[in-house]
């Protein structure tokens, strides 16, 4: 089971894209268990396969802090047919990553998220056409205003791609608003990686905008290009795959706040 769980989890713990790429290259295994369930344990809940708790490749029991998360992971295992498809198990991959690579180093992962605040997607604006400028402003300005007013994080905007150094005080203020538990930090990291914006991830964690609004804000430029030139099937396929992991991370954030 350990080899299978490693395949489900993916090679790069906090990179959903790499996890999906690896899973798509891995031959599917036959289902070897009858039923997945959830049991209580010290400090949380365990997902079990025929009564045996699932473990990370290093042998750690996957201990989940919230029943809702554990139930969803168990549902992923129960939903498998004769063969196991890792692409349909985003919460399982997420849980493995957290237990394997985040619980003992949440501060390091948070610092990695904070690096995005130095060159966040929301800081770099189009100069033209006016329609795109307006779309970026409509989606991104409310998040920046929230960061300034509620967090005390005042960032500098730029036109184009020329790098602008952000105030250390702004980065520190936003960093202070990060959640403290490993599961939320891991979810924050996943959303940041998927959207290219730590501020969008932070706004999602603080429920400043609905998930659909955050996802739309992350794809303003992409959607504008689609409107102008038509749908690129390859781009759309990659986006759909990323959306699965975005939804999983959103579920984690919501469950941790419940």
Section 38-50 average pLDDT: 96
Yes or no: say if 44 and 65 are a contact pair by the CB < 8 Å rule.
Answer: yes
Domain co-membership, 91 together with 146: no
- Check pLDDT > 60 for residue 17: no
- Check pLDDT > 70 for residue 24: no
- Give the burial string for 169-196 (b: 16+ CB within 10 Å, else e): ebbebbbeebbeebbbbbbbbbbbbbbe
Domain co-membership, 17 together with 142: no
Domain co-membership, 58 together with 32: yes
Which residue, 30, 88, 96, is CA-closest to 63? 96
CATH code for the domain of 79:
3.30.2180.10
What pairing do the DSSP bridges indicate for beta strands 158-159 and 124-125? Answer: parallel
- The domain boundary residue, chosen from 58, 75, 101: 101
Helix (H) or strand (E) holding 223: helix 220-229
Domain co-membership, 214 together with 118: yes
Counting DSSP H helices and E strands in the chain, the numbers are 12, 8
Domain co-membership, 189 together with 227: yes
Domain co-membership, 120 together with 224: yes
Q: pTM for this one?
A: 0.89
Domain co-membership, 62 together with 134: no
Residue 29 has a pLDDT of 85
Section 177-196 average pLDDT: 96
Residue position matching structure tokens 């948070």: 110
Residue 18 has a pLDDT of 57
pLDDT tens digits along 49-68: 999 999 988 889 999 999 99
pLDDT tens digits along 110-147: 999 999 999 999 999 999 999 999 999 999 999 999 99
Calpha distance 208→216 (Å, rounded): 14
Domain co-membership, 124 together with 245: yes
Domain co-membership, 97 together with 124: no
Section 224-241 average pLDDT: 92
Which value, in Å, is the radius of gyration of the alpha carbons in the chain? 19
Domain co-membership, 113 together with 94: no
By residue range, what is the domain housing residue 60? 2-101
The angle, 0 to 180 degrees and rounded to 10, between the axes of the packed helices 182-195 and 106-114 is 30
Contacts of 252 (CB under 8 A, 6+ apart): 69, 91, 94, 183, 184, 186, 187
Domain co-membership, 141 together with 197: yes
Calpha distance 161→176 (Å, rounded): 27
- Check pLDDT > 50 for residue 72: yes
Lowest mean pLDDT among 44-53, 73-82, 88-97: 88-97
DSSP SS3 for 243: helix
Residue 2 has a pLDDT of 43
Domain co-membership, 87 together with 129: no
Q: How many domains does the chain have?
A: 2
* DSSP assigned state of 61: B
- The domain boundary residue, chosen from 101, 131, 149: 101
CATH code for the domain of 243:
1.10.3580.10
Residue 249 has a pLDDT of 97
- The domain boundary residue, chosen from 101, 121, 147: 101
């Amino acid at each position: 089971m350990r080899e299978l769980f490693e395949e489900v989890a993916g090679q790069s713990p906090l990179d959903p894209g790499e996890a999906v790429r690896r899973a798509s290259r891995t031959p599917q295994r036959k289902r070897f268990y009858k039923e997945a369930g959830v049991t209580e344990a010290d400090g949380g809940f365990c997902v079990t396969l025929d009564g045996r708790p699932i473990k990370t490749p290093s042998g750690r029991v996957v201990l989940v802090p919230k029943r809702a998360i554990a139930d969803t992971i168990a549902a992923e295992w129960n939903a498998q047919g004769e063969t196991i498809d890792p692409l349909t198990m985003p919460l399982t991959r997420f849980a493995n990553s957290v237990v394997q690579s985040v619980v003992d180093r949440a501060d390091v992962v948070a610092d990695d998220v904070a690096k995005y605040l130095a060159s966040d997607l929301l800081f770099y604006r189009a100069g033209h056409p006016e329609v795109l400028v307006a779309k970026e402003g409509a989606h991104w300005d409310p998040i920046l205003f929230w960061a300034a007013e509620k967090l005390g994080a005042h960032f500098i905007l730029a036109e184009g791609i020329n790098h602008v150094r952000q105030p250390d005080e702004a980065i520190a203020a936003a960093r202070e608003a990060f959640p403290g538990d490993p599961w939320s930090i891991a979810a924050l990291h996943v959303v940041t990686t998927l959207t290219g914006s730590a501020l969008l991830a932070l706004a999602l964690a603080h429920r400043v905008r609905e998930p659909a609004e955050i996802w739309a804000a992350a794809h303003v430029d992409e959607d504008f290009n689609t409107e102008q030139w038509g749908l690129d099937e390859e781009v759309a396929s990659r986006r759909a795959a990323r959306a699965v992991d975005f939804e999983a991370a959103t579920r984690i954030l919501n469950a941790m706040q419940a």
